[in-house]
Structure formats: C-alpha cells, structure tokens
Structure 1
Amino acid sequence: MSRQASKDTAVELAVRRLLHAAGLRYRVEYPVPGMPRRRIDVAFPRAKVAVLIDGCFWHGCPQHATRPKANAEWWRAKLDRNMVRDRETTEHLVAQGWTVLRFWEHEAPADVAVRVAAAVAEQRIHPNRGRKS
C-alpha cells in the first residue's frame, strides 16, 4: 500500500491537463483552510472552488469499492474513517463559502473538466454561491 499514489494520480493529471488547456489556472495540493494535514487536489482559491478526486478503494465508491478479507476489521475501520474525514472536509469547506466538487477516479477526465470549468465560471459570475456536488 505504500506504493499507492496519493497525489498526482493518472486521473488527476489528466484532469489538470484538460483544465490547463482550457485556460484555467489552479493550485495543486492546496491546504484546506483551518484544517491541518488536509489538502484539496485542485483548488481555485479566488473562485473558492475545491476539486477532490477520490480513489474508489480508499474513499468507498458505491460501484467499485472492495473490502479486503485479510485483517477485515482493521480495514473496515480505516476506510470508514476516510469517509467520515471526507464528509468533515466537505462540510468545513462549504461552511467557509467554497464550492466543493467531488469526483470518483473512474469518472471520465473530460467530463470532470467540463463540470469543473462550469463551476469556476459560475463562481466568477456569482461569487457568493457555495454549494456541494
């Protein structure tokens, strides 16, 4: 598991390439304001848009998540804590006025980039609308 990429995954890189090609500039691994040791995968700080791309295994994807059979109790607790932490982070960011966009790693990067670009454009037009999607 130590070899498992936690950042700069293939999906994140593909999404970032598409966003950059569309003329959008962003921050990578941006710290979550007021929450130490938590990061936003792709952040648009001025527009207050946070993009989080979650791995199916680590974040409990309803379609693709698996549960290891070896040391099952420990893994269940670990993965459940990850999902709780995800909810806390999302709630905290929304309370701070951020628009939070969460995607699964299996989603098509082109679709993700289109939704992110639309959210950034919307926030630039109407900056006081924080929402979760």
Structure 2
Amino acid sequence: MSRKRNDKENFHVMSSIRGKNTKLEQTISKAIWRKGFRYRKNVTSLYGKPDIAIKKYKLVIFIDSCFWHGCSLHYKQPTKNPEYWRNKINRNIQRDHEVSQHYLEKNWKLIRIWEHDINHNFEHTINYVCDLIKTSKEQHYIK
C-alpha cells in the first residue's frame, strides 16, 4: 500500500538535497584548483550564486545536473507526482536561462557544464574550462 507524502514530508525530503558543494561541483573545482586556477565557490554576491566564480576575470561557471536542470538528453520525469516535478524542473530551466541572460548582457564569460559532460569526457571538459579561464585572464591583462 502506497501513501501520498504530505507537505511536511516533501519539505523534509527536498531540504535534505544539497544545493551547493555537490559531488559534481567538488570534482570540477578540485580539478581546476589542481591546474593552478583560483576562484570562489557559491558566491552569494553574484546573481544566481554561481558554483564557481572568478570576479577579476568576469567569469562564472555553473555545473548543472541532468536531473535538476532538465537535460534534454537524460532527464527522466518521475512517475510519482508528475505535475510537481514538471513545474519544478521547468522553473529551474527558466531560472537557468534568466541567469545566463544576466551574465551575457553584462559581458561576463559564462560556462555551463552538464553532468553528462563530466561523466563522459572529464578531461576534455576540464581542458575546455581551463582554456576559457586562460583566455579570460589574458583578456583581463590586455585591457
């Protein structure tokens, strides 16, 4: 016999899910740190609280899990409470778009890394991120 969760139980489950310093974030941030780049994590003073930020070079990095950010390749809608999940994930996608637009309009460099990129081609993903950081650094010193 299954029973429907009440709002208090839903809140408890959702509040136990990490919003920052996830394994994905730790994996990427440690790899970037080992390559010699310094940054700040989960910067609350920046719009959308980027997972990684280098303010000096006007660069933000967001690490998006396939589930929570509605990856078109890998997102699978839960069968329980589908309306809730559809609304939740659609709002996350909308927020991602708003945050991306904010930084692009302000001429910041924006990197969005999908979970599947990390899982399937980690070294390429890290090299891509490091190359963009290097380019941002060079452009900063040219000004």
Number of residues of Structure 1 aligned to a counterpart in Structure 2: 124
* Match status 1:21 vs 2:34: yes
Q: Summarize the alignment of residues 22-41 of structure 1 with structure 2, pairs less than 5 Å apart.
A: 22-31=35-44, 33=46, 35=47, 38-41=48-51
Question: What 5-or-longer segments of structure 2 have no aligned partner?
Answer: 1-13
Q: Which runs of 5+ in 1 are unaligned?
A: 128-133
Secondary structure, counterpart of 2:76 in structure 1: coil
Root-mean-square deviation (Å):
1.5
CA contact (8 A) 1:32 1:39 kept: yes
TM-score by length of 2: 0.79
Distance in 1, matches of 2:104 and 2:112, equals 12
Alignment partners' CA distance in 2, 1:30 and 1:82: 19
Whole-Å Cα distance in 2 between the matches of residues 110 and 16 of structure 1? 13
Shift of 1:126: 2.4
Q: Which structure has the larger Rg? A: 2
Give deviations 1:17-74, integer Å, cap 9, x for gaps.
Answer: 11111110001001364x4xx2100111111111100011110111210111222112
Offset at residue 111 of structure 1 (A): 2.7
User: Percent identical across equivalent pairs?
Assistant: 31
Residue 95 (structure 2) aligns with: 85
Residue 12 of structure 1: aligned partner = 25
Decide whether the 8 Å contact of 1:19 with 1:113 is kept in 2.
Answer: yes
- Match among 36, 41, 44 for residue 54 of structure 2: 44
Match of 1:117 in 2: 130
Q: Does 1:69 align with 2:88?
A: no
